[in-house]
Chains A and B, each alone.
Chain A
Amino acid sequence: MVCEDCEKKAVYISLSGRGLCSKHFKKYFETKVIRTIKKHGLIEYGERVLVACSGGKDSTALLSLLWRLMRNKRENIAAIAIDEGISGYRDVKLKGLVEFCRENNIPLHTYSFKEQYGFTLDEAVKISRENRLKIKPCYICGVLRRSLINTYARRLGFSKVATGHNLDDEAQTILMNYLRGNPSLLARLGPKTGIVEDEGFVQRVKPFYFCTEKEDTIYALLTGIEVDFVECPYHVENYRLEIRDFLNRLDSTVPGVKHGLVNNFLKMLPLLKREYSSRSLGHCRVCGNPAAREVCRACMIVEKIKPFLRG
């Protein structure tokens, strides 16, 4: 198959059946990201953006693209990474990110669970299992990571946090929350997250919102970003994994189901946001971050784990 624009060998076939060579695929991908940023007002002129990086291909590709797009305002962009303390996984991934940022002179702020909370994720999971606390690894990781990113984005003076979430991630999250009957969580989704505005929240934005995971990967490969496959040891306990495989199987027989799911969801999103925007938010009495309860979910996790720490 050849590229529709120049007849060179295609590296990608779009949903509409259009073949694209490496040069025209990069143009197609970057145009889609820029259009998403503009159409949904993800990053306004002069805003300071902190890119949340995991060391994986999606967030590294996002960092690389935004760094290039903001070449005239580089003082307005930096990367943040959280080391949860997952032995043999996050340390491996962060090594590549540190290298990437050093090579490109991108400022990188790194924080760890150990220095911030006093325990690694590995230690928290062990404590939770041994003491039957019934807190799942992905819950601990996600809640504590988001809390740290929000705290430091605010302290460092950034107005947006950009994440590498793509169309596949969003389709999975929509279906997961839909099947679990969590409409209030659905209302927080979209290219810009959140329902309630609060000065304690730094809004999270998703420039890759309309790009599939396959597109992200091809873009990463074509821009020289290493695409490894290091699996998180806690991944097997993940409900998302089953939903992801289900959607991918369905997408191979009914192409475009993930696009359909996300696009239809976006039509309903304003109604969901209206329904759930009346909820008032307070502030956590421990850390001061916005919270629906007296103590935020991150501090509740820390309160449960800490009594079991030795020493």
Chain B
Amino acid sequence: MRVKVFVQRLRETRVIDLKEDSRIEDLLKMLRISASEVVPVRNGVIVTEKELLKDGDEVRLLSVVSGG
């Protein structure tokens, strides 16, 4: 499956291919982002790292760290 991911800290949008039944935590592992650094928002809704992803999902990884 293919998901669109926006990484707020990098201000970057990527399209990523993942195995079926992948979860947000798998995506974070792939991007080498620690779960404590981001709040995942899937299709506009805040979700946990355990959330299952579906083909075509749009995920925003909002940075929890302040910029200053």
Contacts and interface: CB of A to CB of B under 8 A. Distances in A.
Interface stretch (A75-83, A194-202, A210-218, A263-271): A210-218
B9 A1 contact: no
Interface in B5-62: 8-9, 11, 34-39, 45-51, 62
Nearest to B37: A248
A57 B67 CA distance: 10
A221 to B, nearest CB: 6
A231 B34 contact: no
Interface in A57-97: 57-58, 89, 93
Q: Which of B49, B67, B68 has the most CB of A within 10 A?
A: B68
B1 interface: no
Nearest to A138: B68
Given A214-B39, A248-B37, A10 B67 contact: no
A19 interface: yes
Given A251-B34, A252-B34, A10 B48 contact: yes
A24 interface: no
29 contacts: A1-B51, A12-B48, A13-B48, A13-B49, A13-B50, A54-B68, A57-B66, A58-B66, A89-B67, A168-B65, A212-B36, A213-B36, A214-B38, A214-B39, A216-B64, A221-B62, A227-B62, A229-B9, A229-B11, A229-B67, A230-B67, A231-B68, A244-B65, A248-B34, A248-B36, A249-B34, A251-B36, A252-B34, A258-B36
B49 to A, nearest CB: 7
Interface residues of A, number: 35
Contacts of A214: 36-39, 64
A222 interface: yes
Contacts of B48: 1, 10-13, 19
Interface string A1-32: 10000000111110000010010000000000
A235 B68 contact: yes
Nearest to B38: A214
B7 to A, nearest CB: 10
List of 5 A-B pairs having minimum Cβ-Cβ separation, nearest first? A232-B68, A231-B67, A252-B34, A217-B64, A11-B46
A54 B64 CA distance: 15
Contact of A229 (B35, B36, B63): B63
